[in-house]
Structure 1
Amino acid sequence: MMGLLLVLLMAGCSKDDLIPPVDRTTIPRNIGVFIENNYDLSLLSAALKKTGLLDSLNQPGATTLFAPDNAAFNRIGISTPAEIDRMDVDSLRFMLRYHMIRNRYFITTFPKQMDNKYLSLTGDALYVSVDKQEQFIKDDIFTFVNGAYIMTGAKRNIALANGVIHILAKPLQYKKETVQDYISKDTSLALFAAVLKQFNLWDDLKIKDPLTLFAPDNNAFLKYGLTAGKIATLKPADYKPLTFGIYTLMMRPMHIFSTDGYILSGTNVYGANVIYFNDTYSITPNYIRNNYNGTEQSAVYIGKIMGVNWGSNEEGPATVQYKGGLTNADHLCSNGIVHVIDDLVFNPDLMKQ
């Protein structure tokens, strides 16, 4: 029994946890050292080593790192250092640098509003949104980066000699390409691309900025019998513009992450209806997090006004889900955001002129 206890004690002391110990030296640890000596950040450490960025995080000069922990990498299907090692080094380096901004930003540094814009080390923008509502514990106020939740308690505001670390619930997703390029490359969105082309919505995805797209996957179209051949026969004049235009939010200049409905929830009595159409329909990303067990719930609500009251969508589902959960939301591109969803907002047969 004593032998087992000794083994457990040795294992528990060999690596740090996310709470930095009291510094008893004249030189506090740097970001790179902290990451390398942390079990929960072992996949991030492997990625930083592969790209040569770990050493740079031990150099002077303040950096704020939004750090995906192992659980965050697991959410996107990465669970071992070997999988990290098989990734393209240039793409991985770009992704990691996108998680960093210059200077030291604690949570209280960020203004309490949506879409505070900062330039990452790649030179591309990322967006920090802070809940305006006071929480029971001020330091645990809900904060998001590109729709990704910043963990609370000891997993945020980790102050180190050359910067600060905030642990993310999922890695940031950024593609240096247009939303049109993103959809073109994703074969699971081929029918969505076909519909956009058929209804003369495709070309604007290359030039308009910013855009937010809720993109149904192929299975969502097939559920309604919309094969590629069937889509090719559809006539735009036969359908209300909102039938398929709703997926591009009618090309309105909007920049909406999956968690923005939460940020706005204190400002609207009906769960923060983010976008209204024709004074009849609304579409709202909904987000709820339980910090006691770390679970997240998310969906996209579709509302319809009936007289003076709001009700459920009668031409389709009341809610649609992100395909595979929040890992398929918040795909930030150079001119907008793509969210992949698992159903059509409207049954096209119910939306004919």
Structure 2
Amino acid sequence: MKNRKPIRNSLLIIPALLMLLFGACKHDDLEIAKPNENFRLAADFIKNNYDLTLFSAAVEKSGMAETLRGKGPFTLLAPSNTAFNEIGISKASDFDKMNPDSLKALVRCHILNQQLLFSQVPVNGVDIRYRTLAETQVYATLASYAPNNSAYPANNLYFNGSSVTRKDVTIANGIIHVLNKVMKVTPNSTVRDWLAKRPQYSIFVSGLKKFGFWERLSGAGPFTVFAPQNSVFEAQNITEASIAALDPATHSGERLFGSYILHNKHFFISDYNVFYIINNESAYNGQLDNDSWYFIISTERNFFTAAVTYSAHLQTALDYPYDTYPAAGSTTPALTDNLTDNGLVHDMQGLLLLPEQALKH
């Protein structure tokens, strides 16, 4: 009797060992990474995504669809439908009005021929450059946190000033980041070229010419220019004729028109939001060239849309006592961040200074 007890215990142990063995095999099988057959190629993914149908139409009409069905890897910086709506494109047929070469360049400017994950963009990096299929450069900026506030990162990622609203969307041949704005790039062009081709800025251009700033804008730069449209000047009864009648001997051109130009600065509107996050700067202060006055600009980022708007004004000094002038800015992000080879142009919906406020004393 005593000899049989150990045998029964051994027999009971065998099934338990078998269960552990099969359990271990099953566990090992679950650990094996299997390819996800649901991942689609870039062109097919955007075609079947309800928020990217306009970008998909642009890809198809530009002849880039087959490229995006290739091996890759690609990174698509894909503007949402709302982003296209904001620049006047509401349906696929609207792309038919564009020059085919311009449309192809627009699409290619939104594609990198590498996979760029959110985690690969340098933390608090500003204007990190990557190459696009159009052979242009795209500027990536990631504002995470100030050094003394690293526990609560903002992680605001921008490409050419456009906010990323969805990041790291995995596709079979790369990655997609969804943008809230269409990136506007004009290669082989200067700030001066950009303004000259747009008649809605002709009064502003006449002022730049009158006070000697126009030729400078074809130089190396970089320049960041804030440009009011004709309607803004006309609302204050300012015309090309009235500007032509101004006397540089009695009016400060540096304050009246030079204040719209930041020299040796390459700032997207989002950069001011970035400075706020990483440097705790509530506003940017830039002194006017050859003048004691300051250009002050601050931004606000919409929590829901990630749109960044700005407000700017002139100030006679940084510290009290000083005089300040009414603010101008833009509540239309689609009109800002126009990138050229030597700088940026931002639409400004207001005037920094009126002629009577720029009189020399």
TM-score bucket (shorter structure): 0.7 to 0.9
Indicate how the Cα distance of structure 1 residues 135 and 270 shifts in structure 2: closer, same or farther if over 3 A, else same: closer
Moved more, 300-309 or 115-124: 300-309
After superposition, the C-alpha distances for 1:12-55 in whole angstroms (9 at most, x for unaligned) are xxxxxxxxxx9875584221121121121111111111111111
Q: Secondary structure at 1:157's aligned position in 2?
A: strand
2:76 maps to 65
Whose radius of gyration is greater, 1 or 2?
Answer: 2
2:155 maps to 141
Using the TM superposition, give the Cα deviation of residue 254 of structure 1 relative to its aligned residue in structure 2, in angstroms. 0.6
After superposition, the C-alpha distances for 1:157-210 in whole angstroms (9 at most, x for unaligned) are 012221110000011001121111111111110101111111111111112321
2:174 is aligned with 1:167: no
Using the TM superposition, give the Cα deviation of residue 136 of structure 1 relative to its aligned residue in structure 2, in angstroms. 7.3
Q: Secondary structure at 2:258's aligned position in 1?
A: helix
Q: Separation in 1 of the partners of 2:196 and 2:130?
A: 28
Q: Secondary structure at 2:312's aligned position in 1?
A: strand
Corresponding residue to 2:334 among 327, 334, 343: 327
Instruction: Map 1:11-160 onto structure 2 (within 5 A).
Output: 25=36, 28-111=39-122, 112-133=124-145, 141-151=155-165, 155-160=166-171
Count of residues in Structure 1 that have an aligned counterpart in Structure 2: 320
Contact 1:259–1:287 (CA under 8 A) maintained in structure 2: no
Q: Separation in 2 of the partners of 1:198 and 1:231?
A: 8
Contact 1:261–1:274 (CA under 8 A) maintained in structure 2: no
Specify the code of the residue in structure 2 equivalent to 1:286: T
1:281 maps to 294
2:277 is aligned with 1:266: yes
Moved more, 109-118 or 281-290: 281-290
Q: Separation in 2 of the partners of 1:45 and 1:137?
A: 36
Specify the code of the residue in structure 1 equivalent to 2:94: E
Specify the code of the residue in structure 2 equivalent to 1:160: I
The percentage of counterpart residues that share the same residue type is 29
Contact 1:303–1:310 (CA under 8 A) maintained in structure 2: no
Alignment RMSD, CA only?
2.4
Using the TM superposition, give the Cα deviation of residue 127 of structure 1 relative to its aligned residue in structure 2, in angstroms. 0.6
Instruction: Map 1:194-209 onto structure 2 (within 5 A).
Output: 194-209=206-221
Q: Separation in 2 of the partners of 1:208 and 1:219?
A: 30
Using the TM superposition, give the Cα deviation of residue 279 of structure 1 relative to its aligned residue in structure 2, in angstroms. 5.2
Q: Secondary structure at 1:194's aligned position in 2?
A: helix
Indicate how the Cα distance of structure 1 residues 219 and 35 shifts in structure 2: closer, same or farther if over 3 A, else same: same
2:252 is aligned with 1:244: no
Using the TM superposition, give the Cα deviation of residue 141 of structure 1 relative to its aligned residue in structure 2, in angstroms. 1.1
Contact 1:135–1:141 (CA under 8 A) maintained in structure 2: no
Q: Secondary structure at 1:254's aligned position in 2?
A: coil
Q: Separation in 1 of the partners of 2:138 and 2:191?
A: 16
Using the TM superposition, give the Cα deviation of residue 228 of structure 1 relative to its aligned residue in structure 2, in angstroms. 1.3
Q: Separation in 2 of the partners of 1:332 and 1:147?
A: 10
Using the TM superposition, give the Cα deviation of residue 86 of structure 1 relative to its aligned residue in structure 2, in angstroms. 2.9
Q: Separation in 2 of the partners of 1:173 and 1:121?
A: 15
Q: Separation in 2 of the partners of 1:181 and 1:149?
A: 27
Q: Separation in 2 of the partners of 1:32 and 1:91?
A: 19
Specify the code of the residue in structure 1 equivalent to 2:341: S
Using the TM superposition, give the Cα deviation of residue 255 of structure 1 relative to its aligned residue in structure 2, in angstroms. 0.4
Specify the code of the residue in structure 1 equivalent to 2:228: P
Q: Separation in 2 of the partners of 1:43 and 1:244?
A: 39
Q: Separation in 1 of the partners of 2:259 and 2:293?
A: 12
Using the TM superposition, give the Cα deviation of residue 311 of structure 1 relative to its aligned residue in structure 2, in angstroms. 6.9
1:11 maps to none
Contact 2:259–2:295 (CA under 8 A) maintained in structure 1: no
Contact 2:225–2:344 (CA under 8 A) maintained in structure 1: yes
Q: Secondary structure at 1:149's aligned position in 2?
A: strand
Q: Separation in 1 of the partners of 2:266 and 2:259?
A: 15
Q: TM-score, normalised by structure 1?
A: 0.83
Instruction: Map 1:281-320 onto structure 2 (within 5 A).
Output: 281-290=294-303, 293-294=304-305, 296=307, 298-302=309-313, 304=315, 308-309=319-320, 313-314=324-325, 317=326, 319-320=327-328
Using the TM superposition, give the Cα deviation of residue 224 of structure 1 relative to its aligned residue in structure 2, in angstroms. 3.1
Using the TM superposition, give the Cα deviation of residue 223 of structure 1 relative to its aligned residue in structure 2, in angstroms. 3.0
After superposition, the C-alpha distances for 1:259-281 in whole angstroms (9 at most, x for unaligned) are 11110013556513152334542
Q: TM-score, normalised by structure 2?
A: 0.82
Using the TM superposition, give the Cα deviation of residue 75 of structure 1 relative to its aligned residue in structure 2, in angstroms. 1.2
Moved more, 297-306 or 69-78: 297-306
Using the TM superposition, give the Cα deviation of residue 285 of structure 1 relative to its aligned residue in structure 2, in angstroms. 4.4
Q: Separation in 1 of the partners of 2:279 and 2:358?
A: 28
Indicate how the Cα distance of structure 1 residues 198 and 48 shifts in structure 2: closer, same or farther if over 3 A, else same: same
Q: Separation in 2 of the partners of 1:306 and 1:207?
A: 29
Q: Separation in 1 of the partners of 2:320 and 2:277?
A: 19
Specify the code of the residue in structure 2 equivalent to 1:329: T
Using the TM superposition, give the Cα deviation of residue 306 of structure 1 relative to its aligned residue in structure 2, in angstroms. 5.6
1:221 maps to 233
